[in-house]
């Protein structure tokens, strides 16, 4: 198209859009268009055909290197509708007939096409991309970026609070930081996500603040104990899914979580946890893991990832190379995994390799040392001692092991850089520089965005970090954004449309049904001395006892739905004479215990002493482990013991349903429960039914 004609056309388009009131994203956006490209033609972009459906996006490419979702004024066409049809918004549906078709798109000035072939006899769908320099969108974008813009794509801060107040609406100061430092993403927390309406508006405002490229809006919505949204469906966590042994359930849970995030505009989940929890003393992973068996973790992890991807949400496996066999919380200090590479490949690394092979978008690092992989030492800025370099800052782990040995091509994101294991020993700027040199693509929650950004600029200007190194990361970040359609649109949906969609999806009846199904399938009946299911009359006294601070009041409420006269005693320590007197005439006692640490389940810990006191009354005691499954090791003489792996209402209701025979328990232990002397009390895969 001649330059003069192109200029006249795009000027007219800009004028027409202004007349219709449709906003233009970016400065005089329409007048800078140079091309129209189908995103799947970009060499780095991959996309699955799911249920014979494939989504394509049309991207306008601009003179300054940016690319944006093209406006609605497009014409999509299939050259052979017997093979596949295409909707007006680029959604392709294959018919199942053999043959080849070209899917094309045009804006009246530019056009592009892609070939799709269905080979029914091989049950194979072949996509042939167009080739040529016009499809190097990512390289072209990087070529036009300043060094500061490249650094910005690698930064992902949090804005939980601002001047002491929770950030629930955008303010000018944060919007300016997004612009001034060209941020590539932000992470949200529970402080930021109160309601569906409010969260949708906040996320939309973040995207409005970004200048050229869509922001990665991330969150730790694992399910279970790590659930950041205050709104929506509280899915059971990974160990609950491990107990179900069901890939189908894990996929459904992942898809529901992904759909709710997607509806809110949150496009990246920091889940699933793929740590193999083979250390019962682990203070930070525990029920966040699918279990102690690498194959189980890998299988259910990939199912969960598939669900997230089906919902259009980016998935992140964590914490590489494995945080499961540790006994120190990396939020506080450095922990070590002492195993050699052969053991790591069989256990810790196995689920991550499975996720890489299945196309995981991103992997998060662990602030844990692995001396058999990297024995490099550094001097701690905290106390001047010599310390080992953790995986997050290790070139041998991130580049040598993950990139070269395991073949990972996606995005490497650090765990939070403000955690004690990093910030105290290395300092914010030095840690950021070390992480980039090690091979990290995104620095999560750097301490002091201005100081870290300027520190990285200085490192590039002095040659300590090459600009080529930045560009490798930016290419991976932009690839992720294109793969998950995280691209600014020329014509955005209205805020009202976004909010209406979020209201419909978040906390929907369908998702609540999945939550209930997962919770009920997870309940594991570990011990039952002919007590369960309970058979009671309305006159029978049932006492539920446990600390409200541990959410055991929710167990009482769930029990009262079956037995309205059940009495709740709020206690989490040794019982006094008055409390013991209250339970003497009970027909059954239901004791809820909740522990998250070794100390919590020690023989002399308050909840453990309390439960043993109840057993000594002679009244049959049913204990419910509300979080970690190991509690029974300190009250082995209990009459019955169930595990629910989490403290959300759905799990308490599922436990109560099981106690009263409304749910037949099918869960199997995803971990081994040991006695205090180290012998096995209940093995992996143990679980009773009715």
The partner residues of 117 in beta bridges, in order of sequence, read 100, 126
- Give yes or no: residues 336 and 458 share one domain: yes
94 φ, ψ to 5°? Answer: -80, 140
543 with 429, same domain? Answer: no
Which pLDDT value is given to residue 667?
A: 98
130 and 172 share one domain: no
Domain containing residue 272: CATH number: 3.20.20.300
Q: Which of 94, 112, 137 is the last residue of a domain?
A: 137
Residue by residue, DSSP assigns 401-433 as IIIIIT---SEEEPSPTTSHHHHHHH-HHHHHH
Non-local (6+) Cβ contacts of 96 within 8 A are 52, 118, 120
> Considering the domain boundaries, does residue 689 fall inside one?
no
- Whether 533 is covered by a domain: the verdict is yes
Q: How far is CA 11 from CA 4, 14, 617, in A?
A: 11, 5, 86
Q: Are residues 498 and 528 in the same domain?
A: no
Q: Kindly report the CA angle at 521 between 515 and 526, in degrees rounded to 5?
A: 135
- Is residue 250 assigned to a domain? yes
The pLDDT value given to residue 9: 44
Task: Based on the fold, state whether residues 234 and 327 are members of the same structural domain.
Answer: yes
Same domain, yes or no: 76 and 199: no
For residue 121, tell me if it sits in a domain: yes
pLDDT number for residue 19: 40
* Whether residue 198 sits in one domain with residue 95: no
Residue 101 to residue 79: CA distance in whole angstroms? 5
Contact 320, 365 (CB under 8 A): yes
Pick from 252, 141, 190: nearest CA to 481: 141
544 contacts 556 by C-beta, under 8 angstroms = yes
* 196 and 312 housed in the same domain: yes
Q: Is 621 inside a domain boundary?
A: yes
Q: What is the pLDDT of residue 2?
A: 42
| Dist CA 34 CA 64 (whole Å) | 10
Instruction: Name every residue whose Cβ is closer than 8 Å to that of residue 106 and which is 6 or more positions away in sequence.
Output: 36, 74, 75, 77
Return the bridge partners of 621, or none.
Answer: 589
What H or E segment, with its residue span, contains residue 582?
helix 577-583
Query: Is cis: bond before 533, omega within 30 of 0?
Result: yes
Positions of the chain with pLDDT lower than 70, given as ranges: 1-31, 283, 324-334
In DSSP terms, which residues pair with 227 in a beta bridge?
Answer: 221
Which stretch of DSSP H or E encloses residue 520?
A: helix 509-522
Say if strands 377-379 and 67-69 run parallel, antiparallel, or are unpaired: unpaired
Q: Which of 505, 535, 559 is the last residue of a domain?
A: 505
Q: Is residue 86 in some structural domain?
A: yes
Question: Cβ(443)–Cβ(455) under 8 Å?
Answer: no
Burial class from Cβ neighbours inside 10 Å (0-12, 13-18, 19+) for residue 8 reads exposed
- Owner of token pair 């199942």: 96
Neighbours of 95 (CB within 10 A): 15
Is 261:267 a contact under the CB 8 Å cutoff?
Answer: yes
pTM, to two decimals: 0.93
Domain total in the chain:
3
Structure-token pair, residue 188: 């949200």
Rounded to 5°, the CA angle 556-558-563 comes to 80
Same domain, 270 and 392: yes
Residue 191: count other Cβ atoms within 10 Å of its Cβ: 16
Q: Containing domain of residue 623, as a range?
A: 523-682
What digits encode the pLDDT tens for the residues 308-328? Answer: 999 999 999 999 988 766 655
Domain contains 362: yes
Query: Are the beta carbons of 398 and 412 closer than 8 angstroms?
Result: yes
Statement to judge: residues 582 and 492 lie in one domain: no
Residue 590 contacts residue 622 (beta carbons within 8 Å): yes
Helix residue ranges, H only, 586-667: 606-616, 649-659
> CA 397, CA 228: separation in Å to the nearest integer?
29
Structural contact between residues 221 and 269, judged by C-beta atoms closer than 8 angstroms: yes
Kindly report whether the peptide bond that precedes residue 671 is cis, defined as omega within 30 degrees of 0: no
Which CATH number is 31's domain given?
A: 2.60.40.1080
Residues 435, 361, single domain; the answer is yes
Backbone angle region of 546, left / alpha / beta, with phi > 0 → left and psi within -120 to 50 → alpha:
left
Q: Which residues pair with 622 in a beta bridge?
A: 590, 640
Q: What is the pLDDT of residues 334-361, one digit of tens each?
A: 677 888 999 999 999 999 999 999 999 9
Structure tokens at 12: 């007219």
Neighbours of 578 (CB within 10 A): 8
CA–CA gap between residue 222 and residue 227 (Å, rounded) = 6
Strand ranges, E, within 250-348? 268-269, 314-320, 335-336
Of 460, 479, 505, which one is at a domain's C-terminal end? 505
Query: Are 504 and 468 in contact, with CB atoms under 8 Å apart?
Result: no
Shared domain for 551 and 588, answered yes or no, is yes
Q: Where are the beta strands (DSSP E) in 216-262?
A: 216-219, 221-223, 226-227
Residue 142 lies in a domain: no
Closest CA to 109 of 139, 71, 78: 71
CATH of residue 674? 3.40.50.1700
Task: Tell me which residues are annotated as active site.
Answer: 331, 415
- DSSP state letters, 648-660: SHHHHHHHHHHHT
């Amino acid at each position: 198209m001649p330059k003069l004609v192109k200029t006249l056309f795009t000027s007219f388009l800009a004028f027409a859009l202004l007349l219709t009131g449709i906003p233009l994203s970016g400065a005089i956006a329409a007048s800078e268009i140079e091309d129209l490209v189908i995103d799947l033609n970009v060499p780095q972009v991959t996309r699955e055909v799911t249920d014979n459906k494939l989504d394509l996006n049309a991207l306008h490419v601009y003179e300054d290197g940016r690319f944006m979702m093209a406006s609605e004024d497009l014409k999509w066409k299939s050259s052979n509708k017997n093979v596949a049809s295409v909707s007006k918004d680029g959604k392709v549906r294959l018919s199942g007939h053999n043959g080849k078709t070209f899917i094309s798109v045009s804006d009246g000035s530019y056009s592009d096409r892609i070939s799709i072939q269905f080979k029914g006899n091989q049950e194979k769908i072949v996509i042939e991309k167009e080739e040529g320099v016009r499809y190097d969108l990512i390289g072209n974008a990087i070529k036009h970026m300043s060094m500061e813009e490249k650094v910005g794509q690698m930064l992902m801060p949090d804005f939980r609070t601002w001047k002491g107040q929770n950030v629930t609406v955008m303010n000018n100061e944060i919007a300016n930081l997004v612009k001034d430092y060209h941020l590539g993403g932000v992470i949200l927390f529970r402080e930021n996500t109160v309601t569906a309406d409010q969260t949708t508006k906040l996320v939309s405002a973040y995207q409005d603040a970004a200048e050229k490229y869509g922001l990665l809006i991330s969150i730790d919505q694992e399910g279970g104990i790590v659930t950041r949204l205050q709104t929506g469906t509280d899915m059971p966590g990974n160990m609950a899914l491990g107990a179900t042994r069901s890939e189908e359930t894990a996929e459904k849970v992942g898809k529901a979580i992904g759909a709710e995030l997607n509806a809110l505009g949150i496009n990246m989940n920091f889940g699933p946890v793929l740590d193999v929890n083979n250390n019962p003393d682990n203070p930070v992973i525990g029920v966040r893991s699918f279990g102690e068996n690498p194959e189980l973790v890998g299988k259910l992890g990939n199912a969960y990832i598939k669900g997230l991807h089906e919902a259009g949400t980016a998935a992140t496996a964590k914490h590489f190379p494995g945080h499961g066999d540790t006994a120190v919380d990396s939020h506080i200090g450095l922990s070590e995994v002492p195993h050699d590479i052969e053991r790591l490949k069989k256990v810790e690394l196995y689920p991550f390799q499975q996720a890489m092979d299945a196309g995981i978008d991103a992997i998060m690092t662990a602030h844990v040392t692995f001396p058999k992989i990297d024995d490099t030492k550094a001097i701690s800025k905290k106390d001047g001692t010599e310390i080992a370099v953790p995986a997050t800052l290790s070139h041998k782990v991130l580049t040598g092991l993950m990139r070269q040995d395991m073949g990972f091509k996606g995005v490497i994101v650090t765990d939070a850089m403000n955690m004690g294991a990093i910030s105290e020993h290395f300092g914010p700027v030095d840690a950021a520089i070390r992480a980039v040199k090690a091979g990290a693509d995104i620095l999560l929650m750097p301490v002091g965005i201005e100081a870290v950004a300027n520190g990285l600029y200085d490192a590039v200007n002095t040659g300590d970090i090459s600009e080529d190194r930045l560009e490798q990361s930016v290419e991976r970040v932009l690839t992720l954004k294109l793969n998950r359609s995280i691209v600014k649109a020329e014509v955005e949906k209205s805020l009202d449309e976004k909010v209406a969609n979020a209201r419909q999806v978040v906390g929907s009846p369908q998702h609540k049904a999945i939550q209930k199904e997962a919770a009920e399938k997870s309940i594991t009946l570990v011990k039952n001395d002919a007590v369960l299911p309970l058979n009671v009359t309305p006159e029978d006294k049932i006492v539920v006892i446990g600390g409200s601070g541990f959410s055991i009041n929710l167990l009482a409420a769930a029990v009262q739905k079956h037995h309205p006269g059940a009495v709740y005693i709020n206690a989490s320590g040794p019982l006094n004479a008055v409390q013991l007197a209250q339970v003497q005439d009970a027909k059954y006692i239901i004791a809820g215990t909740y522990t998250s640490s070794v100390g919590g389940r020690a023989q002399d810990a308050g909840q453990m002493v309390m439960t043993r006191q109840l057993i000594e009354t002679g009244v049959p005691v049913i204990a419910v482990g509300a979080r970690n499954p190991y509690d029974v090791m300190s009250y082995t003489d209990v009459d019955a013991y169930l595990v629910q792996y989490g403290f959300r209402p759905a799990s308490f209701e599922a436990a109560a349903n099981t106690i009263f025979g409304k749910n037949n328990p099918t869960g199997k232990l995803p971990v081994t429960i040991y006695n205090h002397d180290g012998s096995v009390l209940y093995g992996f895969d143990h679980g009773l039914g009715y």
